[in-house]
Structure 1
Amino acid sequence: MDTRLDLTTGDNVPQASGPTPAPASTTVRRTSTLDILFLIGLAIVAFIPRLILARQLDVVTDEVVYILGGKVYLPLITHANITSSQWVTFNYEHPPLAKILMGFSLAFNNILGHPLSELLAGRVPSILMGTLLVAAIYWLGRAPFGRTIALIAALSLAVSPWLVYFSALAYLDMTMTTFVTIAFLTLWHAIRRPWLFPIVALLVGLGAASKYTAVLVIPGIVLFTAYYYFLLRPTIPVEQRPALPWKWWLAAILIAPLAFFIVDPAIWLNPIGRLVHSFTFEWNHSANGHPTFIAGQYYTHVPHWSIIYIIFTKMSAFLTIPAALFVIVALVQLVRFHLRNIQMETEKAASDAYLVIWLLSVLGMFSVLNIVVGTHYHLPLAPSVAIAGVSGLAMIIGAITRLVSRQKATRTETVATRPAISKPAIIIPVVILALLAIGPHLLGLTTVYGAEGYTNEFFQNDEDTTMQVAYPAYREALQWLETSAPAKAKVGLIGSSLEGYSKDTSWFSYNTALDQRFQLQQIDVTAQDFTTKGDPSFHGYQYLVWPKHLVQRGYPLPANTSVMHTIMGGNTIYCYILKVNQ
């Protein structure tokens, strides 16, 4: 099973293109320069759409919580106030690292004289982490997967609407996803350089200090390490076998919790008690459930297969279907390899097993989450699916190319007269691979407003009946109303998180011009006492902005309203603008 379409025989050793190859030093120098240029280009391609979207998007749900967390935690650190009760009272259910990074970003923005809005400054860590993720997939993925596979997979994720959207928000998930992805990519290099095992552990610890679900990658890391050293290592000639790096493994076991502890000041005074306090919230949240709309159904606890549905919906089918095919073929080949039924290089077996274990372990572990507030919960699966998808596409294209080549060969009179493989015969399959892997995501990113409404080719950018719509688009709705509503019109914004926990960090503080243009009021229709203490007829309001996700979760549009306009991304409705009929 050949998945490499590289123009190289290895990671950094180009094929000879003629009878007199260039000197080795010149070749290595040229390749290193090319890799650096690719890396810089990838970083630019990833950074630009994330920055543009971060400047464009309205405040989304929990952003006000996490940005305020950064504002609260950073002064506590700079003043060495570890005893403050705020560590365990404000957003204690999530570890603080990602929020502290937001706090640093806000502080630097203040020092520089506020060149960025506060909302954009709070989003900068996610933008940078999302960019770093793409760059790392190429740089660290060249060795196990080959330069072409790593480059195309990285480009596909660079323009993935799903990843770009969550890289543009002040959320915890992109920081966590980047740490655990780099950890898994570093694992391959740790096999040859055992001193990297503690680095892998450090990255996992930092990921867990950003969001607890990072620990779900640990079983996959342990499984591949055990597979390589105890199943694959015996197949290597004795003189080439690596020694078992016991001391580095022990160091890794110690470093992961130590790193988590060091970057989580909230638990310094009482680690066990405060972790139990935080975990208790997570446990109760899991037990009570959270309303979610998925696959056209409303759930409080999502089924375990929901992770497959989410990945399939939010990534191009040109990646997910080939990824599934790759996993199946790779598993069959690995079984045959260990049964000695086929000849396969140990390096190739290790590479295939590495990717399969990475993908299946993350898929299996994250599927145990029984509450999925949004698709961002499953972002850590995206890198391995993209790489497996590109590998699967390369396998399919390679098989077709070889079939065509054999058919052409049968029409030649002799092998001696058969022409050498031309450069177009090599380049064209690579171009096709890139178009199939990158094109659908790029098309979605450039045509779906806000990116969040993107769904794959089967669902045609329509989340309304498939997935909970995450983007509320209050700002866009009010901007539309500016052209048709009278000054100081009273508008109800339907939701529960606009006011936040502070007047200085809320939807209203980040949209002051709109707040002055209209009479705005948050209305929480999800509150248990809304029907008794609220006003279900919305008397006194002229307009309502009603997010689509509330309709999906069982809060229909009021009977005494009429739809004036909808804010959409692709075929997905983000919110309704309603006129209240008095």
Structure 2
Amino acid sequence: MARKRILALVTLLLALLAATWQRARAIEKLPPDFDEGIYLPLAYRYAEMVAGGRWGELMAYQENFEHPPLVKLLYASELLVSGTPEPEWRTVRVGRPIPEPAVPVFRQTRWLSGVMGILQVGLTGLVHPVGALLLAFDSYHVKYTSQAYLEAVPGLFAILAVLAFERARRGARETGQGAPFQLAPLALSGALLGFTAAGKYPYAMVIGLAFLPFLLGYARARGRVWAAFVLPALAVFVLADPALWPDPLGRLWASVTFHWNYSHSEHVVRSALPWYQPLYHLTHATPTQWHKGVFATGATVWVLLPLAAIGLPATWRQRPVWAVWAVVGLVFLVLWSTKWAQYLLLVLPPLCVCAGMGVSTLYGLAASVLRRRAAGGEQPSRG
């Protein structure tokens, strides 16, 4: 048992080292990307409002309204504290080297994203260390947690929400309360889900749908369970999203319906990405083609889905919330009309956990076969 724990710890440490090295390399080498040209100028506008105490303007600000402002405010806070000057954005071009005056802003904000991505790898390793190793090298996860995108922060809160939700289920069984959930960690999970939604809506949608079967599966103490989970989620979501404060219901509806309308917009329709595009991404390491020499390997895509399929039954038995997250996430990606590559980060952590369980399953089968052969060879011959 001690040997297994040492091996797991060593694997987790290797995953963290690999994640740090790979993201540090990507932060320095990746050229400016499309969405960075949207979020970074907005971060400066938010920084100006915060520095001037113009809170009314901040709440009324409608630019990029479809996404909550939490991550952009984090970028703004970092730029404000560091005093990083704003570059001439007309000199920054997608896919071209970062101009020298713009290097500080990209480095500062990308490292905020990168640290969140590294923490995601570490937390995934607490569930399965091999899964963390896969996530550390996954080219999509590396790319979109090494750029000033919105993905890394809500992705981290999503993992934390799942771990707290698991603790709520496990804690109730350990204490013998006879209740389906321990309410304190369940409330924490709800609060973390609120932060997830304040980062980017689809992450909260997928995690909320993954939690739903477990919440609906218990009739006892249902009122207390729902109150303990939903009230902190709603409170934290609204408090962490100042864009909602003037008119919470109206602005939330406008923001959510924008996503629905955008998923059917001319831009999305014109891109003509097929329904199976997420599956294509999951089996093709296209970032290694977009950015030559940045990523250590694209080989994780060769094994991720097959190993996840093998490990799904074991994940369902041992960590069922992660198994449901993987399935719900894949279904969401296939059904949702917007098929951009960064959406894969909704489902990569649970898929990596399932794949890690797949490695454990194959190892157990191989060990069982070897033991049977050894036992057969030790039987005395009959003469």
- Normalised by the length of structure 2, the TM-score is 0.79
Which of 321, 328, 336 is residue 361 of structure 1 equivalent to?
328
* Aligned match of 2:144: 166
What's the CA shift string for 1:236-260, capped at 9, x where partnerless?
xxxxxxx858535412201112111
Unaligned runs of 5+ in 2: 86-100, 172-181, 286-299
2:56 to 83, 108, 119: 83
Task: Find the partner of 2:244 among 267, 273, 284.
Answer: 267
State the one-letter code of the partner of 2:302.
A
In the other structure, the counterpart of 1:258 is 235
Which residue of structure 1 aligns with residue 373 of structure 2? Answer: 407
Find the aligned partners of 1:276 and 1:52 in 2 and give their Cα distance: 40
Q: Give the distance between the partners of 1:132 and 1:87, measured in 2 at CA.
A: 33
CA contact (8 A) 1:289 1:370 kept: no
Q: Which residue of 165, 188, 192 maps to 1:187?
A: 165
Q: CA deviation digits over 1:141-173, x for unaligned, max 9?
A: 2xxxxxxxx111112211222211111110001
Quick one: distance in 2 between partners of 1:35 and 1:395? 15
1:291/1:111 Cα in 2 relative to 1: closer, same or farther (>3 Å)? closer
Shift of 1:86: 7.7
1:129 aligns with 2:102: no
The answer on whether the counterparts of 2:144 and 2:342 sit within 8 Å (CA) in structure 1 is: yes
- Which residues of structure 1 form unaligned runs of 5+? 1-7, 9-13, 18-30, 142-149, 231-242, 293-297, 331-347, 415-582
Query: Residue in 2 aligned with 1:313?
Result: 284
Shift of 1:263: 1.2
Q: What are the within-5 Å matches in structure 2 for residues 380-529 of structure 1?
A: 380-413=346-379
2:66 paired residue among 89, 93, 115: 93
Change (3 A) 1:186 1:42: farther
Alignment check: 8 A CA contact 2:26 2:143 kept: yes
- Residue 182 of structure 1 and its aligned partner are, at CA, apart by 2.2
Match of 1:196 in 2: 185
| Structure whose CA Rg is larger | 1
User: How does 1:12-31 map onto structure 2 within 5 Å?
Assistant: 14=2
- Alignment CA distance shift 1:262-1:405 (3 Å): same
Report what 1:555 is aligned to.
none
Q: In the TM superposition, what is the alpha-carbon distance from 1:84 to its structure 2 partner? A: 1.5
Following TM superposition, by how much is the alpha carbon of 1:387 offset from its aligned partner in structure 2, in angstroms?
1.2
* Higher relative contact order, structure no. (Cα contacts within 8 Å, ≥ 6 residues apart): 2
2:338 corresponds to 1:351: no
Q: Cα deviations across residues 196-229 of structure 1 (Å, max 9, x unaligned)?
A: 11221122111111111122220111213444x5
Identity %: 24
Give per-residue Cα distances to partners, 1:391-440, cap 9 Å, x unaligned.
123212321221122122111136xxxxxxxxxxxxxxxxxxxxxxxxxx
Q: Residue 201 of structure 2 aligns with which residue? A: 212
Residue 38 of structure 1 and its aligned partner are, at CA, apart by 6.8
Q: Contact 2:47/2:79 (CA < 8 Å) preserved in 1?
A: no
The count of corresponding residues between Structure 1 and Structure 2 is 340
Partner AA of 2:278 in structure 1: I
Letter in 2 for 1:222: L
Q: What CA deviation, in whole Å up to 9, does each residue of 1:93-124 have, x standing for no partner?
A: 21111111111221232289x99711111212
Amino acid at match of 1:277: A
- Counterpart contact for 1:307–1:367, Cα < 8 Å: yes
| Greater strand fraction, Structure 1 or Structure 2 | 1
Residue 291 (structure 2) aligns with:
none
Give yes or no for contact 1:70–1:103 (8 Å, CA) kept in 2. yes
Partner residue, 1:513? none
Distance 1:35 1:401 in 2: 18
- Structure 1 distance, partners of 2:237, 2:149, is 19
1:26-47 deviation line (CA, Å, top 9, x unaligned): xxxxx7x998887666444322
Residue aligned with 1:367, SS: helix
